[in-house]
Amino acid sequence: MEDVLLNYLQTRKLPSALGNEAKTVSPVSEPASWTTRALAHDGDVFTKSSLPYPLCALFSLVDNHQDYSTSAQELAAFLKKLCGQHPLEELMAQALQARFPRVWTERFLFILLEVQPSDWQTAGYVLQFRHLKRLLLRVERKTPLNTVESSMARELIAALSLSRFLDFEPFCRHAAATFKLMQDGQIPVSGDMGLLIYLIRCESAAMCERKHWLENDLASGDPDSVARLSPHLKLLEDRMHKAQELAQRLGAFGTIQNGPMGLEDAMGPYLFSHFLECLLKVPALAGLKETLDLQRAKRIPTRDLIALSSLCRWVSEARGATGGPLEWVRLALTAYDRGHFRIDVAGSLPSVEVILSEAKVERDGTLVLGNFGENPYSSWIARDDLTRPYRSSNPDRLAPNLRSLVLANLHRDQVLLKMLDNAKVYGAPGLIEAIVEGSRSSLVHSKIATRSELHAGAVNGRVPVALLRSAVSIPTALLRSLIHPSHIAFSEMKVLYRNRSTLRPEVGEELHAFLKQAYAI
């Protein structure tokens, strides 16, 4: 391993040697092994522990990635710490030229380019009012509605004095025209502004109800089913959050804003400009600098960039090109224009027909045109939030990580309640205890306290203690059934009672009553 590491360092002497090798080494011209299994984690030439600092720290940061927004902030903090101590251009060149797994390289690029949706992108979806139109159409067709939907429909019909479904369309067009007026820098009249804000909030409420319907419609808590549904729920939640933020900003007379670039926003303008200047020092980093400049100009939301990069990957690999993730991402940025994309797939048909047939796109000869404002292209994004593998007929190619999947759904009570019925979930060591510690739902805690398979046995033996320590209040009768030597040892009961100041009062009282009756105190 020492010989391999020494050879690695000698072949990448920076910055002097890198300038001489820039003509022969390019981050765009990656070997064909990008698409083979030779670069899997268990087959890396350089293990994480063998990498020199700060490359080792960067590898760990990206490898431990959870979500792109958080990772972009962590990367910014790391680069700010390195400023003045280590050449940033050397680190970036090492990261791109090292034969790291494709998954790592993709994740690193999407963290670098992370961008939140801009107001005009949020409005592009929300101002179509799809969920409100679906609701009003169900009213006109006399389809049964639940209590929340009925209340929402009555309020909307009364507020806008609607007599039929077609009466709603002029209000939608008027709201869209008002937003366009604001986008052009003009100030609309208060009545038009009020209508726009009101309809955005109604659409957000309708999206919330749609999310609840999807959660309740889940047939079972099978991890594969939940893994397929989770991205759709996450997308709805993000759009609801962005719509509510937009309505609040407009209500406070705020301006239409572009989405912030995570790395630039976290580093600050001065340090980020220094970072860009560092990239200019090394010719081999010209491709990365161009990609960053394109993203700063176009501000493509991370999710849209991943989906479009998948299509560019398929086109590139179908043509037999040897480019890697950086080339796919740059092609995606070039093809994107304010929510629309235009890609020439000549030379890649019929290989890309599989991925094109799954989404709504327009065709003009070999040109493929799409609109992210109308379609999220979710099937083009793999389960690991990266590009979809070439010729993969199943976008969910990876078996879901059960623990990560469950913890990602802790705030979705209906999904979690169904997952608790699955033997894979309550048979995983420590998983039910993690649910108790992370969930804030009394329904979830009550179900765990009621079902013996969820709080008993060798796998879930620590769950009763976690329930007693939890801040979530559940019925006293359920607590009383857990305070028994068959669930909790006397010694642990005494420890809990001695530290009763950290417990809920009813838990302390039940412990006292039981220990006193058992002559243990």
Would residue 391 be called left, alpha or beta, if left means φ above 0 and alpha means ψ between -120 and 50 degrees? left
Mapped onto helix, strand or coil, the DSSP state of residue 157 is helix
Note every long-range contact of 24-28, with CB atoms under 8 Å and residues 24 or more positions apart, other chains counting: 25/97, 25/284, 26/284, 26/287, 27/96, 27/97, 27/284, 27/285, 27/287, 27/288, 27/324, 27/326, 28/287, 28/323, 28/324, 28/326, 28/327, 28/330
Entry pTM: 0.78
Six-digit token pair at 184?
């052009």
Q: How far is CA 187 from CA 57, 193, 255, 257, in A?
A: 49, 9, 10, 15
Q: Tell me the CB-side half-sphere exposure of residue 174, using CA atoms within 13 A.
A: 17
Judged on CB neighbours under 10 Å (0-12, 13-18, 19+), 406 is: buried
> How far is it, in rounded angstroms, from Cα 521 to Cα 511?
10
Mapped onto helix, strand or coil, the DSSP state of residue 362 is strand
Each residue's pLDDT, cut to its tens digit, for the chain (521 residues) gives 344 333 444 444 444 333 443 333 333 333 333 333 333 333 343 446 677 888 999 999 999 888 899 999 999 999 999 988 889 999 999 999 888 899 999 999 999 999 999 998 999 899 999 999 999 999 999 999 999 999 999 999 999 999 999 999 999 999 999 999 998 888 889 899 999 999 999 999 999 999 999 999 888 888 888 988 888 899 899 999 999 999 999 998 888 888 889 999 999 999 999 999 999 999 999 999 999 999 999 999 999 999 999 999 999 999 998 889 999 999 999 999 988 999 999 999 888 998 998 888 999 999 999 999 888 898 899 878 899 988 876 555 556 789 989 998 999 999 999 999 999 999 999 999 999 999 999 999 999 999 999 999 889 999 999 999 999 999 999 999 999 999 999 899 999 999 999 999 999 999 999 998 887 66
With CA atoms as reference, report the closest residue to 18 among 275, 279, 283, 289.
283
Six-digit token pair at 445?
């805690």
278 Cα distance to chain centroid? 30
Q: How many CB atoms lie within 10 A of CB 187?
A: 9
Under a CB-based contact definition with an 8 Å cutoff, are residues 136 and 162 in contact?
yes
> How far is it, in rounded angstroms, from Cα 324 to Cα 30?
5
* Terminal-residue alpha carbon distance, the chain: 61
Under a CB-based contact definition with an 8 Å cutoff, are residues 520 and 490 in contact?
yes
What is the predicted pLDDT for the residue at 409? 93
**Which residues are within 8 A (CB) of 493 and not within 5 positions of it... i.e. 6 or more apart?**
483, 511, 514, 515, 520
Q: Check residue 343 and report its DSSP letter.
A: E
With CA atoms as reference, report the closest residue to 243 among 216, 215, 208, 212.
208
- Tell me how long the chain is: 521
